Structure 1
Amino acid sequence: MSQQNNNYDENDIQVLEGLEAVRKRPGMYIGSTGPGGLHHLVYEIVDNSIDEALAGFCTEITVEILKGDVIRVSDNGRGIPVGIHPKEGISAATVVYTILHAGGKFGGGGYKVSGGLHGVGASVVNALSSWLELTVKDGEHVYFQRFERGHYDEELKIIGDTKETGTSVMFKADDEIFESTVYDYEVLLKRLREQAFLNAGIKIVFSDKRDEDNIISETLHYEGGIRQFVEHLNAVRGNEAISGDVIYVSGTQGDSFAEIAMQYNDSYNDVVFSFANNIHTKDGGTHETGFKNALLKVINEYGKKFGKFKEKESSKKGKDAPKKEIESLRKEDVLEGLTAIISVKLTECEFEGQTKGRLGNPEVKPFVEKLVTEKLMNFLEENPETANIIFDKCLSASRAREAAKRAREAERKKNAFGNNSMPEKLADCSERDARYTEVYIVEGDSAGGSAKQGRDRRYQAILPLWGKMLNVEKARIDRIYGNDKLEPVVTALGTGIGEDFDIEKLRYGKVIIMADADVDGMHIRTLLLTFFFRYMRPLITNGNVYIAQPPLFKVERKKNVRYAFSDEEKEKYISELSEGGKHNDVAVQRYKGLGEMDPEQLWETTMDPEHRTIVRIGMEDALKADETFSILMGDKVEPRRNFIEKNAKFAQDLDI
C-alpha cells in the first residue's frame, strides 16, 4: 500500500470518551480476564506497531517476554506524537495511554488503514496493567512516562537525545484483574507469525527471556506474505500440494485492498482463514463469502466451458443406461483439500460482534467476488494442467458426496425406526428436554459401567466407546455412515452430520467427552473433537461440547479423602493431611484410568454438577485439535516427528 503523508502530530489524535469503566468491567474490553484477555493485551500493543507498518513507517517490531512475565514491545516507526494535545492540554502520547478510544485512527488522518479502530487500544492495556512504561523517540529526543494502573504522577519528560524514531512499551499485567499473568509462548508466537505473514516484508523478532539459561527467540520475516502463509499451513499439517505453486490474486478498489492466496492439497479438509486489517475474522464475513461464491462460480464455468461435465455417450437405454453425470459442483466440493488465506485492508472495517468475529462491510463482497472471478479464471485458462488437477479434485469430492448421500439413505432404510432406534450400548436418561440433559461419551466398557451406575439417571445418559476408532483424517464423509465406532455417536445425538446436520434435533444439551488421562484418552478426545469440528461443527459453535476433568490422584489419611487434579494440588493435600510434617501416613493413589474409580467416586469427582469440573470447548480448541490430528494421523512422517520432539517436554505421567 502507498506511503502516506508523514505529517502525523498532536492534531491527529482524536478524543472520543474517558477511561472510567475499564477496571470495573474488563471483560467488556478484552473479552475475559482469563488467558484470552491476558494475551489480548499484547496483541493490542503490537497492533499499534503493525498500523505503523501498514502506513509505511515501520519495518521491524521486537516483542519480548521478560522475567516476571513483563512484556516489552518496541518498533522503529515514527513514534507516538509527543506534542501538547490541543483539547486535552497534555502530551498527545499521554492522551493515547489514558483516555479510552483516543488515537490516530478516528478520522484525524494519522492512519489510512488500521486494525485497532474496533479494538481496545493502549489506554485499556494501561488501565489493566499494574504498571506501564512508555518510551518514545522522535528523531531528536527520548521521552519517558510511567503509569501505575492507568494513572501517572509525572508528565511525559525528556530523558535523552537520539536520531532514532520509534515507540517502546513495557508493561506488567495486573494480577488483581487477571486469573493468571503467565503468558503462553506458543499462543503469542502463533499470533505474531500470522501478523508477519499478513504484512509481507515486516520483521517481527519474538523472544522469551523469562529463563536466563534458556532464552528462546524467533525471527518472523516473510517476503512472500500470505503465499508463504499457505505453504506454512500445509507444511505443519503434513499436506502435499497437488496444484503446483500457490495461486495468488490481488487488487484494489478505491482505498480498499484485497489479496487471496490458495493451493489445493491431497487432504479431504479445507482450511480457509480470512482477515480484515490483520484481524482474524474467525466467523467469516463479506470477504470470505465473496471468495467462496467466486471460487464456485469460476470452477463450474471452467468445467462447462471445457466440457468437463459432459455425459459419456452410450447406446444403452432405460435402467441399464449409465447414471447421469454431475451437472455442477457445490461449494463443499470446490473447498475440499483447499488451503486459502483471504486478507482485506480497508479504511474502515465494520465488524459484527464485540470480538470482531465477522466482517460486515457490504461493499467488500462484490469487490472480492469480481476480483477472484476475473483473475482466477484467467489463471485456469492460462494453466490448463493445473486447472485439470483442481477440477478433477473437485469432481472427485462431488462424487464422494453423492456416495455419502446414498450411504445416508441406506442407513435411514436400515434404521426404519429413525431416532427411536438408539445404539445398543447407550444408557439413556428419562428426561427428554435437551435443555436439561447431558450425555457422557466414555472411553471403554469398564469406565462406561462405572458411569452408568454412578450417574443421575434422570438427566445423564452414558455412551461407551470401544475398540479402534476410524481415522477421520483419511476418510471422507461417506465412510462415516455405518461406521460401528462413530455411527453410535451420530445416532445418539440425533442431529445428523454434514449437510444434514440440524442443531434443533440435538437430544442432549451437553455432550461431555470423558476419557482417561493417558495417551489413549488424549487420542479419543482429539479424534472426537476433530470429528465434531469437521462434520458437526455447530455443536462447537453453539457451545454444546465439553471435556470432563477426572482427578489424577486420590490423597487419603484416616478416611479423610481429597481428590487432586494436578501435581500441585496433590502436594498441597499431602501437606494439609500430614501430621507434624510426616507424609508416611498419607496414601496417594494415581488414577491411570476411569475404570479404577468405583461408581460413587466417579460421581463425586467427575459427574456431580455441584463438584465436577468440565471445560467447554470453543472453536480455537477444536481447530487446535484438528491441526494436531492432521499431524499425528496423516501420512507424512516429518511433521509428526517435529510435533513429538517439540511437545515431548510437556508429557508427564504417561501410561505407555
Structure 2
Amino acid sequence: MSDELELEQNSTQVEHEYGGSEIQVLEGLEAVRKRPGMYIGSTSSSGLHHLVYEIVDNAIDEALAGHCDEINVIIREGDIITVTDNGRGIPVDVQPQTGLPALEVVFTILHAGGKFGGGGYKVSGGLHGVGASVVNALSEWLEVQVHKDGKIYEMKFARGKVTQPITVVGDTDKHGTTVSFKPDPEMFTDTTVYDYDILHTRMREEAFLNAGLRIHTIDERAGQEQHDDMCYEGGIREFVTYINRNKTALHEDVIYMSGQKGDSIAEVAFQYNDSYNEIILSFANNVHTPEGGMHEEGFKRALTTTLNAYGLKKGILKGDDKVTGEDCREGLSCIISVKLTDAQFEGQTKAKLGNSEIRTLVNAVVSEKLEEFLEEHPAVGKVILEKAMTANRAREAARRARENIRRKNALEGATLPGKLADCYERDASLTEIYIVEGDSAGGSAKQGRDSRFQAILPLWGKMLNVEKARADKVYGNDKLTPVITALGAGIGDEFDAEKLRYHKVIIMADADVDGSHIRTLLLTFFFRFMRPLIEHGYVYAAVPPLYKLTRGKQSRVAFSDPERDAISAEMRGDNPNAKIDISRFKGLGEMDDHELWETTMNPETRTLKRITMEDAVQADAIFTLLMGEKVEPRREYIEQNAFRAVNLDY
C-alpha cells in the first residue's frame, strides 16, 4: 500500500485520537518486509537483482581484505540464486552483545556486520551491515553454509525467521561461504525471474574493478545454459579497453595512475578515442557513483589544469590560449576507482561521493602522474592537446551557432517552430509532445489529438546522425533545431530540465525499418545531447498497431502476430469459415485521425514504451556500434543478431 493511499484512508477517519498506541515498533526484519523499497530501491526487476549484488558485495569485501580470489554466481532452476566465495567464512562463534552465533546475527539483525569500527573490514561496499539480513527478509527461504576451521556449518531461514539453527553438517578442508536464496513472490510481485545479462554485466564490472579476482556467472536454467569466466589482471586498464573496443583509440596504451594516502587508495585509467563524446565511470569501494562526486571533481580539475600547463610549457598553446574542461574530455573514456574506510555517500541510493579528502587525493595523483606521463610521451601529449584544441574551436563555432539561433528568433519574434501544433496546457508535468515521422502522419496526429495536453511536431527528410557530428554541426541543423526549440530546455551543457515544456516526449514512427532508423537517430541525439531526458524517464516510444482486422462492420487492430491470430480466431467465433480481412499498416499515414487516436494516442488505450538507460557503458557501446564510424563491428553485430529481427518490412 502506498503512503499516499494510507494518508487518504486516514483522513476519512473522524476524531481518531493519535496516542502512543498508534506508534508501531517493527520487530527485527519486519521493517524490511513492510518497506522493502527503503532498503533495495524497489520491488521491481532492479530490486530483485539488487538482492544478488548485496550477497556478492559481502564476498567482494573479503576480496578487498585480501582473503578471497574466486566468486561464483549461479542462477539455478526456479530462479534460485547461489553465491559462493573462498573467503574466510562468516564467523560462527557467539557474538558477545547478543549471545547469538555471529552467523545468525549477520542474517537476522539489521546493521550488524564486520563493517563497523574498522575491525572486520577497512573498506567495504554493500548496504553497511544490512545487506545479508535484507536479502534474508525478502527471500521465501535462504540457506547459508560456512566452511571454516575444518567444519561445515549450516543455517536455514524462511522470510527472515530461523528454521534450522546453526548445525555442523560435515567436515571440510576448504574455507568460504555459500548463500542460496529464493526471492519471495509476496515481495516481488512484478517478477521473480532473473535476467542473466543484467547479472553478468554487473559481475563483469566487479571483475574489472578488482584486478585478479575471478568471477564465474552461471545460468543453469533449462534452455538458457550459459557460463562466463571473468578475471582481469589489468583491472581498470582492461575496463577502459573494453569501453573503447568499437572506437578508434588516439594512442595505443591506456594511461594508468594510482596513489595512496593512509587507508585511502585512488586508481584512474583513461584513453582518448576519435569520438566527440566523453564517458567517465566512477566508483567508491566498488559502488558505482552515477552522479559522480568528489573523486570525479578531483580528476576533472587535475586533467584540465595539467593539460593546460603542459600545452603552454611545450608551446602547443600560445599566450592566453586555454582549453576548457569540456575540451579536455572530448573523446575520453575514463574509469575512476577509489577505496576508503569511511565512504560518505550523498542520498540513499549512493549516487554521489561526498568525501572531500578524496578530491584532494585524486587531484594530487592525477596532477603528478599525468605530468610525468606527458613528459615521457610527448607524442601522446601532442595528440591529446590537438584533440582538445579542435574541440575548443568546434565549441566556439557551436556558441556562435547558438547565438545566431537566438538572434534569429529574437528578430523573427517567434521562438517555436512553425510546424509545431502546440497544446493549451502550460503545466509541463501534464503535457506531452509527439515527434512524428512524416507530414501525412503529422496531419492525422494533429486532427486526432487531444489539443488540451498533446502537442505534435512532424519531422521530415533525413535526420542528422549526431554520433558522427560535433555540437557545431548539430546547432542550426534544420532537422534538429525544431526539436531543440520545441522542447525548450537547450542541449549539451546548457540543457536545463526545469525549462522542459513537456514531460512526455513520445517518438511516433512507423513499425518498419525506416521507422526504426528514425527512432535510433532521435535516441542517439537525446543520448548524446540531452541525456537527462532519458535519465529522468521523459522519453517514450509509441507502439502503433501492425494489423487491422475487419469482419463486416466490426474492425479491430493487433500489435503483434500472436495477437493478430488470437483476434482473428475470436472474431470468427463459432464460424471457422468466416471471412476476416487482415491488412498490415504500411505506415502511420495510412491511419485516419480516429484510428491513430484510438490505437496510438489515447492514454486510455495506447501502449507506450519508456526509454530507460540502465547501463551507461552498454548504452554508449550500442550507440557507438550502431551509429559510429566503424563498419566491421556493426556488420558482426547484425550477422550475430539478425535471427532475432521481427516485423522488419513486408
Indicate the SS of the match to 1:39: helix
Corresponding residue of 2:15: none
1:562-601 alignment runs, 5 A limit: 565=559, 579=573, 591=585, 593-601=587-595
Match of 1:518 among 509, 512, 516: 512
CA separation in 2, counterparts of 1:201 and 1:621? 24
How far off its partner does 1:61 sit? 0.7
Query: What secondary structure, in the 3-state scheme, does the structure 2 residue paired with 1:654 have?
Result: coil
Candidates 68, 72, 75, aligned match of 1:65: 75
State the shift of 1:331 in Å.
1.0
- Give the drift of 1:421: 4.0
Partner SS, residue 256 of structure 2? strand
Matching residue of 1:462: 456
From 232, 253, 265, give the equivalent of 1:222. 232
Give a deviation string over 1:50-72, Cα, whole Å, max 9, x none: 11110111111111112222211
- Equivalent residues of 1:552, 1:590 under 8 A apart: yes
For 1:361 and 1:24, the matched residues in 2 are separated by 32
Bigger mean CA deviation after superposition, 181-190 or 281-290:
181-190
Matched with 2:193 is 182
Cα separation, 2, equivalents of 1:568 and 1:123: 43
Identity fraction in percent: 62
In structure 2, what is the equivalent of residue 13 of structure 1? none
2:442 match: 448
1:68-114 deviation per Cα after TM superposition (whole angstroms, max 9, x unaligned): 22211111111111223223333221221222222211226111110
Does 1:255 pair with 2:266?
no
Within a 5 Å distance, the mapping from 1:301-316 to structure 2 comes to 301-310=309-318
Distance in 2 separating the partners of 1:491 and 1:282: 28
SS in 2 for 1:298: helix
Please give the TM-score of this superposition, normalised by the length of structure 2.
0.90
Q: Distance in 2 between matches of 1:645 and 1:279?
A: 35
d(CA) in 1 for partners of 2:171, 2:375: 59
1:355 aligns with 2:349: yes
In structure 1, what is the equivalent of residue 424 of structure 2? 430
Q: Which amino acid aligns with 1:388?
A: K
1:344 matched residue in structure 2: 338
Structure 1 residue 595: Cα displacement: 3.3
Q: Which of 209, 220, 223 matches 1:209?
A: 220
Alignment match of 1:149 (pick from 159, 184, 205)? 159
Deviates more, 1:219-228 or 1:203-212: 203-212
CA contact (8 A) 1:272 1:339 kept: yes
Query: Residues 349 and 566 of structure 1: is their aligned pair in 2 closer, same or farther, counting only changes over 3 Å?
Result: farther
Contact 1:106 1:117 in 2 (8 A): no
Q: Deviations over 1:102-129 (max 9, x none)?
A: 2211226111110114475011112222
Does the C-alpha gap of structure 1 residues 152 and 579 become closer, same or farther in structure 2, counting only changes over 3 Å? farther
Which residue, out of 594, 601, 605, partners 1:607?
601
1:282 aligns with 2:293: no
1:116 to 113, 126, 129: 126
Question: Which position in structure 2 is the counterpart of 1:246?
Answer: 254
Shift of 1:36: 1.0
1:315 is matched with which residue?
Answer: none
Paired with 2:539 and 2:99, the residues of 1 have a C-alpha distance of 53
Q: 1:229: how far off?
A: 0.3
Aligned residue type for 1:171: F
Deviation (angstroms), 1:557: 6.7
Q: C-alpha separation between the residues in 2 aligned to 1:76 and 1:558?
A: 69
C-alpha distance in structure 2 between counterparts of 1:204 and 1:394, whole Å: 38
Contact 1:105 1:117 in 2 (8 A): no
Q: Which amino acid in the other structure matches residue 359 of structure 1?
A: L
Residue 571 of structure 1 and its aligned partner are, at CA, apart by 6.3
Distance in 2 between the 1:24 and 1:556 partners? Answer: 50
Alpha carbons 1:44, 1:119 under 8 Å: kept? no
Q: 1:199: which partner in 2?
A: 210
Asked if 2 retains the 8 angstrom alpha-carbon contact of 1:533 and 1:623, the reply is: no
| Alignment gaps of 5+ in structure 2 | 1-25
Q: SS at the partner of 1:405?
A: helix
- 1:541 to partner: Cα distance: 3.9
Task: Give the alignment of 1:450-529 within 5 angstroms.
Answer: 450-529=444-523
Question: Could you tell me how far 1:376 is from its partner in structure 2?
Answer: 0.7
What's the CA shift for 1:278? 0.6
The change in CA–CA distance for 1:117 and 1:622 in structure 2 (over 3 A counts) is: closer
* 1:652 to 2:636 alignment: no
Count of aligned positions: 624
Q: Distance in 1 between matches of 2:55 and 2:121?
A: 16
What is the aligned counterpart of 2:305 among 297, 303, 326?
Answer: 297
The residue identity in structure 2 corresponding to 1:603 is W
Partner SS state of residue 363, structure 1 = helix
SS of 2:476's equivalent in the other structure is: coil
CA contact (8 A) 1:65 1:208 kept: yes
TM-score (norm 1): 0.89
Contact 2:110 2:129 in 1 (8 A): no
State how far apart, in whole Å, the 1-side matches of 2:244 and 2:159 are: 43
Distance 1:127 1:560, change over 3 A: farther
Amino acid in the other structure paired with 2:310: Y
Displacement of 1:578: 6.4
Letter aligned with residue 243 of structure 1? H
| CA offsets 1:628-656 (integer angstroms, 9 cap, x no match) | 22101222233213432443343222227
Residue 402 (structure 2) pairs with residue 408 (structure 1): yes
CA contact (8 A) 1:17 1:99 kept: no
Which residue of the other structure, out of 385, 390, 400, is the alignment partner of 2:384?
A: 390
Call closer, same or farther: CA 1:432–1:243 in 2, change over 3 Å. Answer: same
Structure 2 residue corresponding to 1:371, chosen from 340, 365, 373? 365
Distance 2:577 2:196 in 1: 36
**Which sections of structure 1, spanning at least 5 residues, go unmatched?**
1-15, 312-325
Tell me the secondary structure at the aligned position of residue 155 of structure 1: strand
